[in-house]
């Protein structure tokens, strides 16, 4: 897999871990499935520990970290390490050049190549996972 894409994925996943940590510290329970998340009764929008805002949506959440915005969905088993090209580009909005990308199309092309090579695995829904992480969600 292209090193730039892998760096972007790792930074995106790190931001999700930070967001989830704040959610838990704020008393928001982690779901055992994406459906459980969609049906839970937490506020649709609010503030987490440290004044960090969040916006719940469908199977996921958008969290406005001090370092930037991260939007993620929970997977079928409640995992939060999935991604797709849109989420990665959204996370890096206005900063693609910092990762060495010349365009959003370049991210899409490299993402497609990573899927074709088997480095990324499709969940069968909307999310992809790093191949080495897939065994932890099966």
The answer to whether position 53 is within a domain reads yes
**pTM for the full predicted model:** 0.91
Domain that holds residue 105: 3-126
Residue reference for tokens 């890096």: 92
pLDDT band at 39 (very low <50, low <70, confident <90, very high): very high
Alpha helices in 26-120 (DSSP H): 34-39, 85-91, 104-117
Residue 122 lies in a domain: yes
> Does 136 fall in a domain?
no
User: Does residue 137 fall inside a structural domain?
Assistant: no
Arithmetic mean of pLDDT, 107-125: 94
Q: Tell me how many domains the chain contains.
A: 1
- Average pLDDT score over residue span 16-45: 96
């Amino acid at each position: 897999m292209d090193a730039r894409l892998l760096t972007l994925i790792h930074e995106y996943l790190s931001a999700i871990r930070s967001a989830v940590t704040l959610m838990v510290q704020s008393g928001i329970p982690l779901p055992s499935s994406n459906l459980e998340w969609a049906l839970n009764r937490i506020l649709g929008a609010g503030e987490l520990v440290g004044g960090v805002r969040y916006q719940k949506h469908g199977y996921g959440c958008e969290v406005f970290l001090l370092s930037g915005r991260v939007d993620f969905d929970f997977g079928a088993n409640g995992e939060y390490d999935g991604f797709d090209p849109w989420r990665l580009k959204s996370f890096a909005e206005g900063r693609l050049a910092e990762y060495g990308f010349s365009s959003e199309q370049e991210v899409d092309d490299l993402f497609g190549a990573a899927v074709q090579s088997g480095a990324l695995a499709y969940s069968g829904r909307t999310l992809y996972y790093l191949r080495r992480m897939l065994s932890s969600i099966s």
